[in-house]
Amino acid sequence: MLEKTNDEIVEAWFNHIAKSKSDSLVLQRAAYQAKLGNRKEAFRLKSQVDNAPRIFDGAFLEPAVRGMLAEVVALRAYKLKLIKMVNTFDPDNAIDFAYEISTEISNEEEM
């Protein structure tokens, strides 16, 4: 079995939440129709909802979110480092600066 990426795990969780929300809204409409006395419409709406319990296996959700958060923090730190390098740019040392930036970028790509 192939492991899912962090993005896929979080996206599956979002899909689970969206489906649960959708089912909840349909059940609310069914309850309203039943309250109005429209039993056929209430049963029709209720039958649209799968009665099987859906459980999201969240065992991998926390590590996936933590992994994504670590990536965001690392990207932010990298961005701040590049901004600092650009802000300290000295036109007299443009060749050294270009080398330093290209080295920094290639080192980041290797990670």
Q: What is the distance between the alpha carbons of residues 44 and 59, in angstroms, rounded to a whole number?
A: 35
pLDDT of residue 109: 65
Within a domain: 62: no
Domain residue limits at 90: 68-111
Q: What is the distance between the alpha carbons of residues 94 and 53, in angstroms, rounded to a whole number?
A: 63
* pLDDT higher than threshold 80 for residue 25: yes
Say whether both 89 and 110 belong to one domain: yes
Model pTM score? 0.65
Instruction: Please state the rounded mean pLDDT for residues 25-41.
Output: 94
Residue that is last in its domain, among 29, 56, 83: 56
Please tell me the total count of domains within the chain: 2
What average pLDDT does the structure give for the chain?
A: 85
Measure Cα distances from 35 to 11, 14, 21, 23, 38 in Å: 36, 32, 21, 18, 7
pLDDT digits (tens, 9 = 90+) for 41-87: 999 999 888 776 778 888 889 999 999 999 999 889 888 887 887 78
pLDDT of residue 80: 86
Quickly count: other Cβ atoms within 10 Å of residue 77's Cβ. 10
Measure Cα distances from 51 to 13, 43, 47, 56 in Å: 19, 13, 8, 15
Say whether both 23 and 1 belong to one domain: yes
Q: Pick the residue with more confidence: 64 or 3?
A: 64
* pLDDT higher than threshold 80 for residue 1: no
Measure Cα distances from 27 to 21, 23, 53, 63 in Å: 10, 6, 14, 33
* pLDDT higher than threshold 60 for residue 2: no
Q: Which tokens go with 14?
A: 């979002």
